[in-house]
């Protein structure tokens, strides 16, 4: 029987900011990343989710619609993978390596296989890695796998949850320790019945070669292979990747050869009938949607498209996107443009034998259809997007727009000419539909005049002029420089925040700090510009002397001599440019 409470028979009172504590639930508050977390049951799984990559799961909305095999295609291949996943007698190897060149449809095969296994109940986890996603990190691979298994097995979930609440650092340990602490040890605590339930569950890792660093890729495979040899996990593992040399060597080493099976997805004309089925169905939908003649496209046109695809799925998929591109002259003209590629042109023999030659011709066609006046801007957008500079966050398109002095409308209009190969995501990033386009525009041998590095000089000049104009603003009356796309989502990214720090710099020299847009800015510097200049300059050679452009920065240089941090940044910045032919006398 409960004793009378302190508020027995009390009424008409107010509790300000009450905190109710249940004595039968033990909680411990910890501060992680400035967030106060109460370690009650379930909080461990929540922390696991925070260190996972839900956008890379097979059913993630971030990947919708995911690449998947067209109905009636790749059926034999998918059946082989599913039979292997089911542990058929002739498929006893617990590791399956599916490999193939860019554009053969590995991710689509992985997606369709994952969906089929999920329906039959033996999909443990699926992770789809991509270099185009900034949020993906190989250090979060095993946490992502653990989380997906946990939400499907309550007992396993409870064990993992308790272990993380007991030691929250588990989610931040090395991948070797994560595998041991979040998979092996929790599995050992399972009862025989629960462990038997997980036996044979399939783990799919697509895009192994997309993990940053060859060593990380090899470590992941070796960790899994060691676990299989020591029988510490009951799962079957599928890895999909390109046949990179280090991975080919690894999968044929004694460590993994005894437990793995290899399955190649070649560039082959043997799948012409499947590509024909895909093209026929997709263009039939276009014909009906646009009320075109029933004879469009003709059988001859379809045959030509199949020949142009030359056994490469990404070609056929990109062709269909190109034909239905909304900002175009219409599907009929778009199709005619593609068919024109079938006209033989003289080419270097070695280049024509390259499996991506046909795709390169198509990418070249797409680039040539960009308006000439817009093309330099498009190349600069693609160049800035390609820079791997997390310090500057230039992958966020408002930041790209502000660097180039473009409005939101101008940037979106420029990108609209490439809708068949890229999209602007809801979170304001540029995403290539396939990695092969990014490789194309970075390779001058393949893309020639459309190589993004051909626009280095205009971008350098633009950056110098942009910085010079920023520092020439009146610091007494105009503390805030206007940005061309003042998007709140990008307010913390370079150059939005940093430009608003450059302008009042003369004031900050005289005073320790200033108050700008509600936040304290102390000793702002050229960090963002230095990173970008460093990336461009170190990787690619420049041109002739550019004395006039460097001289434009002379007032800023003299100004920044007055402080330590800024002085270091500016001298580094100018030094990088001088290496590329700048002549600057101070």
pLDDT of residue 325: 85
pLDDT band at 537 (very low <50, low <70, confident <90, very high): very low
Give the pLDDT confidence of 559-569 residue by residue, as tens digits: 444 433 333 33
pLDDT band at 200 (very low <50, low <70, confident <90, very high): very high
Taking all residues of the chain, what is their mean pLDDT, rounded to a whole number? 76
Q: How large a percentage of the chain has pLDDT more than 70? A: 66
Helix locations, 199-298, DSSP H: 214-230, 245-251, 254-257, 272-289
Say what the alpha-carbon torsion angle 151, 152, 155, 157 is, to the nearest 10 degrees. Answer: -20
| Strongest mean pLDDT among 59-73, 493-507, 539-553 | 59-73
Residue 411 sits at φ, ψ, to 5 deg, of: -70, -45
pLDDT of residue 399: 78
Closest among 199, 84, 217 to 141, alpha carbons compared: 217
pLDDT of residue 123: 98
Q: 163-167, 505-509, 545-549 — which is least confidently predicted?
A: 505-509
HSE-up of 348 (CA within 13 Å, CB side)?
6
Backbone dihedral region of 63: left (phi > 0), alpha (psi from -120 to 50 degrees) or beta? alpha
Give the pLDDT confidence of 456-491 residue by residue, as tens digits: 767 666 665 665 555 454 344 443 445 677 765 544
pLDDT of residue 459: 65
Q: Between residues 252 and 2, which one has the greater pLDDT?
A: 252
pLDDT of residue 97: 95
Give the pLDDT confidence of 266-314 residue by residue, as tens digits: 988 999 999 999 999 999 999 999 999 999 999 999 999 999 888 889 8
User: How crowded is residue 284: how many other Cβ atoms within 10 Å of its Cβ?
Assistant: 13
- Is residue 39 within 8 A of residue 165, CB to CB? The reply is yes
pLDDT of residue 17: 54
pLDDT of residue 538: 43
Does residue 226 surpass a pLDDT of 90? yes
Q: 36-40, 348-352, 378-382, 397-401 — which is least confidently predicted?
A: 348-352
Burial of 486 from C-beta contacts in 10 A (0-12 / 13-18 / 19+): middle
- DSSP assignment string, 372-397: TTTHHHHHHHHHHHH---TTTTTTBH
Give the pLDDT confidence of 86-101 residue by residue, as tens digits: 987 677 889 999 999 8
pLDDT of residue 394: 57
How far is the C-alpha of 250 from the C-alpha of 248, rounded, in Å? 5
DSSP H or E segment with residue 99: strand 95-99
pLDDT of residue 328: 75
- Taking each helix axis as running N to C, give the angle between helix 408-416 and helix 375-386, from 0 to 180 degrees, rounded to the nearest 10: 100
Closest among 144, 138, 136, 126 to 236, alpha carbons compared: 126
Does residue 196 surpass a pLDDT of 80? yes
Beta bridge partners of 422: 432
pLDDT of residue 137: 86
Which distant-in-sequence residues (6+ apart) come within 8 Å of 520 by Cβ? 513, 514
Q: To 5 degrees, how large is the angle CA 245–CA 249–CA 253?
A: 175
Query: What's the Cα-to-Cα distance from 507 to each of 404, 477, 523, 557, rounded to whole Å?
Result: 26, 11, 10, 16
pLDDT band at 396 (very low <50, low <70, confident <90, very high): confident
pLDDT of residue 483: 67
Does residue 436 surpass a pLDDT of 50? yes
Q: To 5 degrees, how large is the angle CA 214–CA 215–CA 216?
A: 90
How far is the C-alpha of 330 from the C-alpha of 319, rounded, in Å? 13
Does residue 15 surpass a pLDDT of 70? no
Closest among 491, 513, 495, 583 to 542, alpha carbons compared: 583
- CATH fold of the domain at 43-265: Rossmann fold (3.40.50)
| Strongest mean pLDDT among 4-13, 33-42, 327-336 | 327-336
Q: Which residue has the tokens 């490999």?
A: 99
pLDDT of residue 464: 59
Give me 55's structure tokens: 């956008």
- What DSSP state is assigned to residue 259? T
How far is the C-alpha of 67 from the C-alpha of 106, rounded, in Å? 9
pLDDT band at 527 (very low <50, low <70, confident <90, very high): very low
How far is the C-alpha of 452 from the C-alpha of 439, rounded, in Å? 10
How far is the C-alpha of 329 from the C-alpha of 100, rounded, in Å? 35
pLDDT of residue 520: 27
Closest among 470, 463, 578, 469 to 532, alpha carbons compared: 463
Helix locations, 407-553, DSSP H: 408-416, 435-442, 444-447, 456-471, 496-502, 505-510, 527-539, 547-552
pLDDT band at 528 (very low <50, low <70, confident <90, very high): very low
Does residue 337 surpass a pLDDT of 70? yes
Does residue 395 surpass a pLDDT of 80? no
Q: To 5 degrees, how large is the angle CA 236–CA 240–CA 242?
A: 150
Q: 216-225, 403-412, 505-514 — which is least confidently predicted?
A: 505-514
Does residue 135 surpass a pLDDT of 90? no
pLDDT of residue 426: 85
């Amino acid at each position: 029987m409960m004793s009378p409470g302190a508020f027995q028979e009390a009424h008409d009172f107010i509790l300000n900011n009450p905190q109710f504590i249940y004595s039968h639930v033990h909680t411990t508050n910890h501060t992680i990343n400035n967030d106060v977390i109460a370690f009650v049951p379930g909080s461990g799984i929540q922390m696991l989710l925070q260190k996972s990559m839900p956008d890379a799961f097979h059913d993630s909305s971030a990947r919708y619609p995911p690449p998947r095999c067209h109905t009636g295609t790749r059926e034999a291949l998918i059946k082989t993978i599913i039979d292997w996943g089911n542990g058929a007698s002739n498929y006893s190897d617990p590791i399956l390596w599916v490999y193939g060149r860019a554009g053969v449809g590995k991710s689509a095969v992985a997606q369709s296989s994952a969906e089929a296994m999920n329906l039959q109940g033996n999909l443990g986890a699926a992770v789809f890695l991509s270099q185009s996603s900034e949020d993906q990190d190989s250090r979060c691979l095993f946490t992502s796998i653990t989380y997906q298994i946990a939400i499907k097995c309550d007992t396993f979930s409870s064990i993992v949850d308790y272990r993380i609440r007991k030691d929250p650092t588990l989610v931040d340990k090395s991948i070797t320790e994560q595998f041991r602490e979040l998979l092996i040890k929790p599995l050992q605590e399972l009862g025989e019945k629960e462990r038997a339930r997980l036996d044979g569950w399939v783990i799919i890792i697509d895009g192994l070669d997309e993990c940053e660093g060859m060593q990380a890729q090899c470590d992941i495979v070796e960790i899994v292979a060691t676990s299989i040899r020591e029988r510490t996990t009951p799962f079957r593992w599928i890895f999909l990747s390109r046949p990179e040399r280090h991975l080919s060597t690894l999968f044929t080493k004694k460590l993994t050869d005894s437990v793995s099976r290899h399955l190649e997805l070649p560039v082959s004309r043997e799948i012409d009938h499947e590509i024909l089925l895909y093209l026929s169905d997709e263009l039939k939908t276009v014909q009906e949607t646009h009320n075109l003649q029933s004879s469009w496209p003709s059988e001859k046109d379809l045959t030509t498209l199949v020949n142009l695809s030359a056994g490469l799925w990404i070609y056929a998929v990109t062709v269909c996107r190109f034909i239905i591109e909304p900002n175009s002259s219409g599907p009929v003209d778009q199709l005619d443009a593609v068919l024109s590629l079938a006209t033989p042109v003289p080419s270097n023999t070695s280049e024509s034998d390259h499996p991506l030659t046909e795709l390169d011709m198509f990418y070249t066609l797409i680039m040539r259809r960009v308006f000439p006046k817009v093309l330099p801007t498009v190349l600069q957008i693609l160049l800035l997007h390609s820079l791997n500079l997390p310090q500057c966050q230039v992958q966020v398109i408002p930041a790209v727009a502000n660097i180039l002095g473009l409005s939101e409308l101008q940037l979106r209009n420029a990108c609209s000419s490439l809708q068949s190969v890229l999209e602007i995501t809801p979170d304001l990033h540029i995403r290539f539909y396939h990695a092969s386009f990014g490789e194309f525009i970075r390779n001058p041998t393949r893309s020639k005049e459309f190589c993004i590095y051909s626009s280095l000089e205009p971008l350098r000049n633009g950056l110098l002029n942009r910085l010079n104009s920023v520092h020439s603003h009146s610091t007494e009356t105009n503390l805030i420089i206007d940005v061309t796309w003042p998007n709140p989502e990008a307010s913390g990214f370079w150059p939005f925040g940093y430009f608003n720090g450059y302008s009042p710099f003369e004031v900050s020299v005289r005073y320790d700090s200033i108050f700008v847009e509600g936040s304290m800015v102390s000793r702002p510097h050229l960090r963002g510009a230095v990173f970008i200049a460093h990336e461009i300059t170190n990787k690619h050679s420049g041109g002739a002397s550019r004395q006039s452009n460097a001289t434009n920065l002379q007032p800023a240089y003299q100004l920044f001599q007055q402080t330590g941090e800024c002085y270091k940044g500016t001298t580094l910045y100018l030094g990088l440019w001088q290496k590329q032919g700048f002549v600057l006398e101070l």
